[in-house]
Amino acid sequence: MAQIKPIDFPFTGEATKLKVLILNFQTDATTCTTYNELLTEEGLVCTSWNYTLTDEEFTEWGTDNTWVENCVATDKNITILTY
């Protein structure tokens, strides 16, 4: 889970964490989909969405799963502060 630059949500509060779950994919896949949540410090969900990596992002993934968090954050213009 990554600490992010705070984002204000009027009804739930300030999101400070990005949670990314990589959904199941076959071993011959060329992409994958993630389920993502922006959370408050207390763990309340401010919003959630899915993101599908591009073929290029999937190919460049390598062994560091923070790469996937960066792809998700970049798509929504979220600034990651720390992991």
Please count the other Cβ atoms lying within 10 Å of the Cβ belonging to residue 8: 9
Cβ contacts of 33-36, under 8 Å, gap ≥ 24: 34/68, 34/72, 36/72
Contacts of 63 (CB under 8 A, 6+ apart): none
Q: What's the predicted TM-score (pTM) here?
A: 0.93
Please count the other Cβ atoms lying within 10 Å of the Cβ belonging to residue 41: 12
pLDDT tens across the length of the chain (83 residues): 999 999 999 999 999 999 999 999 999 999 999 999 999 999 999 999 999 999 999 999 999 999 999 999 999 999 999 87
